[in-house]
Structure 1
Amino acid sequence: MHQDTTADSPATARGAVAIITNRRGELLLHLRDDLPGIAWPNHWSVLGGGCDPDEEPREAIVRELDEEAGLTVTGLIELFEIRDQHGSGQLITFFAASWDSDESRLPLAEGVKLQFFAPEHLDILTIPPFIRDGINRHLAARPA
């Protein structure tokens, strides 16, 4: 794992997100609710969330994928960490996985919508800066 930012103390708030791609190389994005009090309302993001107390990021992302979208993935790979400096302040661990099915059939429990997007269409979407950075780093590191 490559680390962007180190945790300042054991009490640093943590989170985990997953960049999920299908066999066509499209990315699964999640349109967040437009509610006051949540980080990045009405933005497209990847699935994930905060770690519970004493929960490791890998455990958190598995739980969050299930809770938010009833989604189970195989081959989850830990990528890197980025701090959400302008939102929650959490140190976010990014994971990658692949999943090939119809996203419209997932039982979405949070947010507005799930949709696969081709990487070339991401520029027109409103995406939190730290998520966009993570997606771009992941895409740049993938084999052509």
Structure 2
Amino acid sequence: MGEPGENLSAGEPRGAVVIITNRRGELLLHLRDDIDGIAWPGHWSLLGGGCDPGENPTDAIVRELHEEAGLTVHNPAKLFETKDVHGSGQLITFFATTWDGDETRLPLAEGVKLQFFAPEHLAHLTIPPYIRQGILRFLSSPPVQ
């Protein structure tokens, strides 16, 4: 299970996303489906999703990575939380981890594609504002690995 003391309050919807970097410093982004009824359709985002009832963000991100892309991670670094005010309305916990595989070989279960991008190319992508802000915050002060 996740960290002791994590807030499992049923009152506020929660979610989790992960910033995945490779040894070249590129970030793995997920192109979301362009369909009605989802938050941020057609945007480049981070892998992640909503917490199931009673699930903490750490367990949610481990589950979501496995379900969405077949990735298994252990102990992703918890970074910070922010609210997706203009999309899902969830309180989102950001995590970070590293992975050096070939993203084109991952079994993507939802969305259009996964792709690594160098940080200097992010300005040209359509990214939800809270995700862009979280990535910039991460890039300005990445966790010690």
TM-score, normalization by structure 1: 0.91
Deviation at 1:74, TM superposition (A): 3.9
d(CA) in 2 for partners of 1:127 and 1:11?
A: 28
Q: Is contact 2:20-2:99 (8 Å) kept?
A: yes
Q: Is contact 2:10-2:53 (8 Å) kept?
A: no
Match of 2:44 in 1: 44
d(CA) in 1 for partners of 2:133 and 2:60?
A: 21
Match of 1:79 in 2: 79
Q: Percent identity?
A: 74
Deviation at 1:72, TM superposition (A): 1.3
d(CA) in 2 for partners of 1:103 and 1:75?
A: 21
Number of residue equivalences: 136
Unaligned runs of 5+ in 1: 1-6
Q: Which amino acid aligns with 1:111?
A: G
Q: How does 1:24-103 map to 2 (within 5 A)?
A: 24-103=24-103
Deviation at 1:116, TM superposition (A): 0.1
Deviation at 1:22, TM superposition (A): 0.2
Deviations 1:66-119 (A, max 9, x none): 000001124510000010000000000000000001000000000000000000
TM-score, normalization by structure 2: 0.91
Task: Note if 1:137 corresponds to 2:124.
Answer: no
Match of 1:116 in 2: 116
The SS at the match of 1:11 is: coil
Match of 1:4 in 2: none
d(CA) in 1 for partners of 2:33 and 2:40?
A: 9
Deviation at 1:54, TM superposition (A): 0.2
The SS at the match of 1:67 is: helix
d(CA) in 1 for partners of 2:98 and 2:47?
A: 13
Taking only aligned residues, the RMSD between alpha carbons, in angstroms, comes to 1.3
d(CA) in 2 for partners of 1:120 and 1:54?
A: 38
d(CA) in 2 for partners of 1:92 and 1:61?
A: 11
d(CA) in 1 for partners of 2:78 and 2:12?
A: 19
Q: Is contact 1:83-1:90 (8 Å) kept?
A: yes
Match of 1:21 in 2: 21
